Structures are given as structure tokens and as C-alpha cells.
Amino acid sequence: MLIGIDASRAIVPSPTGTELYSRRLIQALLALASPHRFRFYVRSAPPAGLFPSVNPPNRPAGPFPSTNPPNPCSIAELRIIRCRRLWTHLGLSWEMARRPPDVLFVPAHVLPLVHPRVSLVTVHDLGYLYFPEAHPFHQRCYLDLSTRWSARAAAHLLADSAATRADLVARYGVPADKVTVAWPGRDETLVPLRDPVAIEQVKARYGIAGDYFLYLGTLQPRKNLARIIAAFASLQSQAVLVLAGKRGWLYEDLFAQVRRMGLEGRVLFPGYVPDEDKAALLSGALAFVFPSLYEGFGLPVLEAQSCGCPVVASTTSSLPAVAGDAALLVDPGDVAAIAVAMGRLAAEPALRQALVERGFANVRRFSWAACARTVMDVLEQYAAERPSPLSLNRERGRG
């Protein structure tokens, strides 16, 4: 079976969230012992070594064959699609019309208008329906329309959690048997860093001195950062608050809030943190503060627990299931509750240690190998039923 995968999000240089999901799941699918071949669709060539056992691109641009001989040991090939605008619905659709794979899997985007009848899509979350004010209007409209389209047109859907599966059923009327939960895995290279000198070196690189609370993720309203700042401001603590991550959208108010509350120098915005610095920052933090308003899964919780960092998380969406008994769970709308949880973790070493030990046990429940096996099982099941090569935009799919 030839499995086509939209890998465009997996090759971005500074991946977060769904981009990391796409990258790590593809790597795990390649590592499975299966008889199938893969074809990855990308906008440009990925970094060398990102995907093992992959042939060089079959063409440098456009519909021209490559002069590179195929590697007989490879299990995958690349298709670079040069399309400056509407890459998915024009470029990828054109590729699907001309050279469709047996099945298409879209792990982190939307189904193209032209696609094989057996097409699967991962839906990560429907948070934009619950917190529309946390998204720019145009983005909210796009997320709603594209998710509705994928939910209707795909043969089957994958969801990161039971919470997202329930949302698809309740909010979009998707039949329950059309959605399979495939829990994402954890980054098994993330482990606690025990070297205090190495931790201090990384802290110095980001301008952090002394004790600190840490948030690590995109700066956007859905992450509830304004309430984290307000909770931190009420603490009687000498620690600082580090809000690390890429600037997403509607983040300007956070900087204004810090200035208004007189917290300059105590609330730090160091920007994007590459993978090589995550373990140090997480290992050295008093706590990882993640009372997000809504998460389809919450990979940062597993990253923190893997590094021995106690976690404050929300009682909502998928986070209780992901964090297990290894976090202090709080109402994300309650600033006082967030502050109490942060204060406890700063003042109670025994509680911190208990959560750290539970966190190590909790993360063992999650692996990318298991996620890939679930995805492959679904792909194989639906490929065995494929009736015809292509489905156009009028196709309603199964269910």
C-alpha cells in the first residue's frame, strides 16, 4: 500500500504543537515494521536526516522526474510541490488528481479539495468554538470551515483525546464510530538534567536568575497567560515568571499588562526555546504553569513531567486525562486558585517531589510508537475497503 502524507507542517524550522505532532508521528510511522511505502508531500526539502529511509525528491520543482537514482533500501519518497498560494487546495489537490496514493493521511492541516476516497485527518481540538475571543476573526472562521470540511469529507478522523472526539460528535454531529482516539506520545529524549552548572548556563542565556515559574508554548490568549500573570502578581515570592515561546496572536496585551502591573524584570518573555534547551529550563523550574483554557491534548505537560518538573494544569478539556494524578489541577478561570497552586509548589518541597515521582510514572503511558500503531491500524482498515481512487469536493465520505 502506498500511503501519502501531508508532511508540510512537519518540516518547519521551529515546530510547536501540531507541527511537532506531525513530525514525531511521521518518524514513528517510518519506524514501524510494515510492508507499506510512504510518499511525503512538502513545500520544500526537509532538513537532512529529519526522516530516515527517505529517497531524495523525485523532482526539484514541477512535474519533472529527478535525476537522482532511487535508494532501494528506502521506504519513502518526497514530492516537493511548488505552489506559492493555496498550497493545499491547489498544489496538493493537483498532485492528488495526477498521482493519487492508495490512502492520504493529513496529520496537521486540512484535507485538500481533491483527495483519495480513503483519506484520514487528525483533528487536534475545537477550542475556537469554546473560546472564540481567543482567536482573530479570520482565523476562527478558517478553523471552523476547514474542520467542518475535513470532518465531512474524510473517510475517518483521528483525535488526540477523548475530549476532542466528544467535541466532534457533539458540535459537528460526526458519528462516534467515525472517530478514533490516538493518544500522542512523549519526547523520549527529554529527561531530567541533573547538572546544576549546565542549568545555570542555559538560564543565563535567557536572562533568568534565581527561582522561576515556567510556561513554555505559543503566546496566545487560549493559553490563559493573562491570568497566570495576575496570579503571579499576587504571590509573595522572590521568584520570576518566565513565559517562553513564539509570539502567536493577540499577545500585545500581555506586554501591556506586565507594564501596567509594574512587573517589568519579574515577568520575562525570552522567546522560542529550541529542543536542546527545553530539558534545562524544565528541570530547573519551580513549577510548569499550564492552566490553559482548552487543549486537545497538551504535549507541554508531558514534556514537563518527563523532566521532573511539577505541573499546574486545568480541570478542563483533555488536561486531566493527560496529566493524570501528577499535577495540581485548577479552574483556569480562577486567578486565586492558580495563585494558590503556584504558591504551594514554591513552598512545599514534599508536594513537589510527590508530583515529580507521579509524573515519571504518568508519562510512561504515552509513546509515539503506540500512536503510530493505532494510526496504521486505521489506515490499513480503511485501505482494505477503498472502492475508487479519487473523491472530489462533492464527496461526502463515510458516515
pLDDT, tens digit, for every residue of 89-116?
999 999 999 999 999 999 998 999 999 9
Out of 63-77, 86-100, 141-155, 222-236, which region has the weakest mean confidence (pLDDT)? 63-77
Strand 119-123: give its sheet, edge to edge.
Answer: 76-80, 37-42, 2-6, 103-106, 119-123, 156-159, 179-181
Query: Within a 10 A sphere around the Cβ of 39, how many other Cβ atoms?
Result: 22
Q: Are residues 181 and 65 in the same domain?
A: yes
Residues shown for the chain: 399
pLDDT band at 384 (very low <50, low <70, confident <90, very high): confident
pLDDT of residue 61: 38
Phi, psi of 306 (to 5 degrees): -65, -30
The CA-CA-CA angle for residues 300, 178, 399, to 5°, reads: 150
Task: Confirm whether 23 is domain-assigned.
Answer: yes
Mean pLDDT for all residues in the chain: 90
Q: Are residues 334 and 201 in the same domain?
A: yes
- Rounded Cα distance between 6 and 114, Å, is 13
Residue 365 reports pLDDT greater than 50: yes
Handedness of CA 18, 19, 22, 25 (dihedral sign): negative
Mean pLDDT on 167-181: 97
- Collapsed DSSP state (helix, strand, coil) of residue 330: strand
Out of 135-144, 259-268, 308-317, which region has the weakest mean confidence (pLDDT)? 135-144
pLDDT of residue 48: 79
Q: Are residues 177 and 103 in the same domain?
A: yes
- Rounded Cα distance between 333 and 338, Å, is 9
The CA-CA-CA angle for residues 54, 59, 65, to 5°, reads: 110
Going by C-alpha positions, the residue among 198, 212, 218, 200 that lies closest to residue 272 is 218
Return the CATH number at 176.
Answer: 3.40.50.2000
User: How many Å separate Cα 351 from the centre of its chain?
Assistant: 29
Q: Are residues 49 and 111 in the same domain?
A: yes
**The amino acid at 378:** V
> Percent of the chain scored above 70 by pLDDT?
91
Q: Are residues 206 and 153 in the same domain?
A: no
pLDDT band at 9 (very low <50, low <70, confident <90, very high): very high
Q: Are residues 179 and 259 in the same domain?
A: no
- Rounded Cα distance between 89 and 352, Å, is 49
Task: Confirm whether 160 is domain-assigned.
Answer: yes
Q: Are residues 81 and 224 in the same domain?
A: no
Q: Are residues 297 and 320 in the same domain?
A: yes
Task: Confirm whether 247 is domain-assigned.
Answer: yes
- Collapsed DSSP state (helix, strand, coil) of residue 168: helix
- Rounded Cα distance between 135 and 137, Å, is 6
Q: Count how many domains the chain has.
A: 2
pLDDT band at 136 (very low <50, low <70, confident <90, very high): confident
Task: Confirm whether 398 is domain-assigned.
Answer: no
pTM above 0.85, yes or no: yes
Residue 73 reports pLDDT greater than 60: no
Q: Are residues 175 and 72 in the same domain?
A: yes
Q: Are residues 119 and 178 in the same domain?
A: yes
Half-sphere exposure of 366 (CA within 13 A, CB side): 30
Task: Confirm whether 394 is domain-assigned.
Answer: no
**The amino acid at 84:** R
- Rounded Cα distance between 264 and 49, Å, is 42
Residues in a beta bridge with 79:
41
Q: Residue 269 belongs to what domain range?
A: 196-363
Category of 236 on φ-ψ map: left (φ > 0), alpha (ψ -120 to 50) or beta: beta
| Of 399 and 136, more confident | 136
Residue 164 near residue 126, CB atoms below 8 Å: yes
Residue 222 reports pLDDT greater than 80: yes
- Rounded Cα distance between 130 and 295, Å, is 11
Separation in Å, CA 318 to CA 71, 98, 108, 162, 169: 42, 40, 18, 7, 15
Task: Confirm whether 396 is domain-assigned.
Answer: no
Task: Confirm whether 397 is domain-assigned.
Answer: no
Q: Are residues 213 and 254 in the same domain?
A: yes
Task: Confirm whether 395 is domain-assigned.
Answer: no
Q: Are residues 49 and 180 in the same domain?
A: yes
DSSP letters for 217-248:
S-BSGGG-HHHHHHHHHT---S-EEEEES-B-
Residue 394 reports pLDDT greater than 50: no
b/e map of 222-234 (b: 16 or more CB within 10 Å)?
Answer: bbbbebbbebbbe
pLDDT of residue 362: 98
Which alpha helices (H) appear in the chain, and where do they start and end? 17-31, 93-98, 127-130, 137-153, 162-172, 196-205, 225-233, 252-260, 275-284, 299-306, 319-323, 335-347, 349-363, 368-383
- Rounded Cα distance between 285 and 397, Å, is 48
- Rounded Cα distance between 179 and 319, Å, is 20
Grid cell at residue 150 = 475535513
pLDDT of residue 386: 58
Residue 65 reports pLDDT greater than 70: no
